[in-house]
Structure formats: structure tokens, C-alpha cells
Amino acid sequence: MNIPECTEIAVVGGGPAGLTAAIESGRAGCRTVVLDAGITPGGQLTKQIHKFFGSRTQGAGRRGLDIAADLAEEAEANGAVIRTDSTVQAADQSGRLEVLNGARSHGGSPEKMQLEHIRAKRVVLATGAEENAIAFSGWTRPGVMGAGAVQTMVNIHRVLPGRKVLMVGAGNVGLIVTYQLLQAGANVRCVVEAACDIGGYGVHAAKVRRSGVPILTSHTVQEAHGDSRGVRTATLVRLDKKWEPVPGTEKTIDVDLICIAAGLRPNIQLSSIMGCRLVHSTDLGGWLPVHDCSLMTTRSSVYVAGDASGVEEATAAMEEGRLAGVSAAESLGRLSEVRASGRRRRIQKRLAQLRGGPLGESIRGAKHQIQRAQSI
């Protein structure tokens, strides 16, 4: 489908935040296009074969890939155009986007790819997050992979990249991918976590332990052994209170896959080149665009949502996408202040519930600091 050279709202990223932003802006009557580099819309949701927790509003009890399909259908029903295999590879401060189409479906053939330029009055950056790496001896060997790559191979392409697995990281991602690897037939030898406590939810850790997989806290991988064909063994070591290796605690295990789940950081490439002011927040994953409570950045035409505004769960990303979509539509005069304010209050109430309790305290504090930085 052709997109007008000038559209009202361009949403960069077709994951949970991008799709909900398109739903809200399309519902308000805005000409909206979603540009996503993937083959199918949904982003990380397409990899989530487990059932969601939380409230019914955010899809509790349903699988992520089903939620993705429903969100895409709803966005299109509200008039949004979803363009997959469309990579926004450059942008400027005026809202002009350079889009490369067909890079994935045509195997990178230059003759079949197409370059186009789209100018948007408002841009919602829902570009997601990138995986963190861990550097250790042998970390560049074949068979050392990020959890996201492993999840893509297993859950989307149905390819098991290894049979004997070491999982590095006991946050939610590490624990969930561990269980998914077990479901796919892999033998997860153990999960190691450098911190003294498990970072993920207890329900995920309990499920992994019931499956017979030990979780070793205050441990890390010291070296990956193997050759050009892949990993053969890995040496683990215990860490002291200063996170220093304890001599004499080394242990070598047979593995052919080392899966790194060391957290995520916001994808800020486009927000940076579009001139959005950045700030660092450890609790939100690293550098991210400064934004206010409506998710507007320091560039009044640019909004940010989901992991691109600070790494959280997919449920929070969906609500932030809605918030950005409503705010962008209001700024174009498509929603009255009264309607937009009422809609925002309801969305912000759900976000507050998602970030409630002791586990959400750091997120709440970090978001408050980011929003204060917007006014400086």
C-alpha cells in the first residue's frame, strides 16, 4: 500500500508500544503509518509463547503472539497502515524519515530493495531495546548468543541452536527463555547470575527449579572453550561481594550454547539523531530520551514509548504506546483537550497499577526524575 509523502503520524516500530500508539492515533482520525523492520508486526510479542501475567486489560492469560496479531488487526481497523520489512535508517529534526524497504524479504539484494522518504508531522519512536553483551574469554565464539536471538530461533523459526545450554542471567528474560528452551527439548545445564539474588519474578524461578535446573547466584561464566565450529565447554566461577572471581571455585561444564540474558538498553539511535536530549538512568536501562508525562521528548514533534523510553515489561509498553498516540493526536488538534486529558488519566492510572508495589518503586522514581528533567 502506498503511503502519502506527508503523513500526520509516523510510528517507528511495530511492537507492543508502536501498535497501541497507532490504535489510539488512528482512532482519533490521524493518518498514521507504522514502519517496522520485521517481517510480521508485533516485535517481541511474536516471540512470547508464554501466557501473560497482570490484568485482563493488558492481555493476562493470553500468549504474546496472539496479542500481537490482535493489536495489528485493531490498528488497521482504525485506519493505520502497517508497513513491515521497512527499516527507518535515517531521520532529521523536521520529521523526514529515510525508509529502506525489502531488505529482509529480498535477502539484501540491492536491486530489489527500495529507498523512500516520508515526512511526518509527528513521530512516535517505539524502537524498543537492544541486548547487553558480556565480555569474557571466548565470548565471540560461535554458540555464544543473546537471549533475544535464541528466542527468535526457537519460537519463530523452530530451530534449536544448542542442546546443552548455559544461561547467563536470572532476570525475567533469562528465566523465561530457559523454560522455553526446556520446552523445545534442550538440556539447560544451569542458570548463573552474577548478583547475589535472582532478578526475575519468583514464579518464573520456581518453574525453572521444578524442572531440575539449578540457579547459581554470585556466579558468572569465566571462559568459553571451543574452536571455530562452536563452544564445547564453559568455565564458571563464583564471585565475592565485590564481584571479583574467587580463586579455586572454577568449574567446567559441557555446553554447546551459552545464552546471554544480561539485560536490555533503550534503542536511542533515531532519538539521538533527531535531536532529542538524552539522559542516563540505570533503573531504566541506560541512556534514553528525556520525556514528559505525555511522552513528548525535548523535540515537540517527537514522542517516545515502550522500551525506547526506558526498559520495562511489554504490558507497560502497550500502555505507553496508547499514551503517546493520544498525546500526538491531541497535538495535531485531532482530539480535544478534554477528551485527551480524560483518556490520559485512564492510561496513567493503569500504568501506575503496573508500576505499583516495591518492585515498581525504582521505575516510578526513575520516570519521575526523567519527567522533571524535561522541565529544566
Cα–Cα distance between 251 and 194 in angstroms, integer? 15
Mean pLDDT, the chain, whole residue set: 93
Q: What is the pLDDT of residue 46?
A: 87
Q: What is the pLDDT of residue 64?
A: 83
Q: What is the pLDDT of residue 1?
A: 44
Percentage of the chain surpassing pLDDT 90? 81
Domains in the chain with CATH codes: 6-130+265-374 (3.50.50.60), 137-262 (3.50.50.60)
- Residue 26 corresponds to which cell in the numbers above? 488512528
Q: Answer whether 38's CB lies under 8 Å from 84's CB.
A: yes
More confident residue, 146 or 107: 146
Cα–Cα distance between 114 and 154 in angstroms, integer? 30
- Max distance between CA atoms of the chain, in angstroms, equals 67
- Res. 145: pLDDT tops 50: yes
Cα–Cα distance between 84 and 190 in angstroms, integer? 37
Q: What is the pLDDT of residue 297?
A: 97
Query: Mind listing the pLDDT tens digit for each residue in 2-30?
Result: 444 679 999 999 999 999 999 999 999 99
What is the C-alpha end-to-end distance of the chain, expressed in Å? 42
Query: Mind listing the pLDDT tens digit for each residue in 185-235?
Result: 999 999 999 999 999 989 999 999 999 999 999 999 999 999 999 999 999
277 C-beta neighbours (distance < 10 Å), count: 15
- Residue 89 corresponds to which cell in the numbers above? 535508517
- Res. 108: pLDDT tops 70: no
Band the pLDDT of 100: cuts 50, 70, 90. Answer: very high
- Res. 302: pLDDT tops 70: yes
Query: Mind listing the pLDDT tens digit for each residue in 80-97?
Result: 999 999 999 999 988 899
Q: What is the pLDDT of residue 373?
A: 77
Query: Mind listing the pLDDT tens digit for each residue in 25-47?
Result: 999 999 999 999 999 999 989 88
